[in-house]
Amino acid sequence: MLLISRRRLIPLAATAAAASLLAAGCASNTGSGNAGGSGGHFVLSAGVLHAFTGQNSFFGLNAEAACKAAAQQINAAGGILGHQLACPVFDTKGDPADAAPVTSRMLVSAPHLTMVLGPDGNDIPSVLPLLEKAKTPEMNTVGAPRYDTQTSPYFWRLTPSDSTQAPALAYYAYHHGFTKVAEIFTSDLSAQTTTAPFRTAYTRLGGTIAKALTITPDQSSYQTEVAAVLAAHPQAIVGEMDPQTAATFMTEMRQQHGSILPVIITQRATQGDWAPAVAPAIGAATLAKDITAIAPALSATGPGYAAYANAMKATKANPFAAHNSFVAAQFDGILAFALAIDKAKNLSPAAWIADIPKVTAATSGATIVRTYAQAVAALKAGHTIQFIGASGPMIFNKYNTADRPYAVWNYTPAKSTWTMGTILPKDAGQ
């Protein structure tokens, strides 16, 4: 999903030094003390720190759509403590060497920076030290298991770790009757974090890996790799490929085999750039019949989802993004951060960061709220709340990762989008 840059990473020492210089500027930029201290209102910023150009631009486009929709709902309800919210974007280009200076610029230039949406998995090693030093709360959808036990109060992961996605892939494959599979993942960073836990979970269930391949993404041909997979006679393929790689690989599989084998793929397939590249190559009907994605579950019903869908429409977002569980999770994350500020009645992160679980946890006697306006009204009335938005309950564990179940997703040609099916057991494959 995320290509490893060939450019040299900025040394962490330099990153930390830059962060030291930025800390004071960010503190004043974010604002401190009670928001009403000066009696005035101003526009807060939720910085969208992602790739907006290059192969990984879908990350930025998704995050911007989520942020603008959340801001629309927040602003329509009167803002955060009376302050409107805006979503300035900062393009990391999906490259750690570019991401660090872009982050530095965001920290000193975004007006009243209150929260950050991002970064993605390729950028986070160089960006996170800057955000941590500046004590800027950030929400991400990074799957890397290295963050499964992180302890920073400013780091919040809105979707599950790859260490739980891999067992979900294994569970679905094995219980769907595929006891002998080929494992194919591209060599990029995010795909590789899934391979080992998938293999462990699948073999523990009793499955056999007939062939395991790591392939370089975006090659002009995979004839040799396809032949090796077919020679192993697997019942299905499990793995992750970016759109261009998948289109080429599956086209050549059909040429050699006459059809494609069943494919069980990670959430990468549900991103907005995948189906438009793969469907023309193999046919929308084949995509719908033979490819299954395993991705986080999305509520897709109820007032929380309806508010999300309406906000996406009001901001003229890509209509298919409303069906994307990662976009919905980021939308909910912004609302949760805003509600934590409302609960604390203070814009200083040190004052409100601990209130994020207090507005999202399933607390006994809590008032269930589904929209920002409903939640603010309940807080003003003195109620303890549990916010459940478009993506369903957002229950953070002690490492600030939202534990969510996975679901089966299939492509629907008539709507040119993915549709959620069965929700897998919470501990599927673990």
pTM of the predicted protein model: 0.84
The one-character DSSP state at 9 is: P
CA dihedral 293, 294, 297, 300 (to 10 degrees): 10
Residues contacting 164, CB < 8 A, separation 6+: 406, 430
Residue carrying the six token digits 């007032």: 303
Amino acid letter, residue 138 = E
Kindly give, in sequence order, each residue whose CB lies less than 8 Å from that of residue 131, ignoring residues fewer than 6 positions away. 103, 107, 116, 138, 154
What is the DSSP annotation of 292-335? EEEEE----SHHHHHHHHHHHHHTT--GGGGG-HHHHHHHHHHH
* Tokens matching residue 262: 């069943």
Inform me whether the pLDDT recorded for 195 exceeds 60: yes
Least confident of 233-237, 301-305, 316-320: 316-320
Identify the band that residue 382 occupies on the pLDDT scale cut at 50, 70 and 90.
Answer: very high
Phi and psi for 160 in degrees, rounded to 5?
Answer: -70, 165
Identify whether the C-beta of residue 180 lies closer than 8 Å to the C-beta of residue 206.
Answer: no
Q: Per residue in 247-260, pLDDT tens?
A: 999 999 999 999 99
Q: How confident is the model at residue 430 (pLDDT cuts 50, 70, 90)?
A: low
351 exposure class (CB count in 10 Å sphere: 0-12, 13-18, 19+): middle
Q: Which amino acid is at 402?
A: A
Question: How many CB atoms sit inside 10 A of residue 256's CB?
Answer: 12
Task: Report residue 85: phi and psi, to 5°.
Answer: -120, 135
State the pLDDT at residue 429: 57
- Of residues 218 and 8, the one with the higher pLDDT is 218
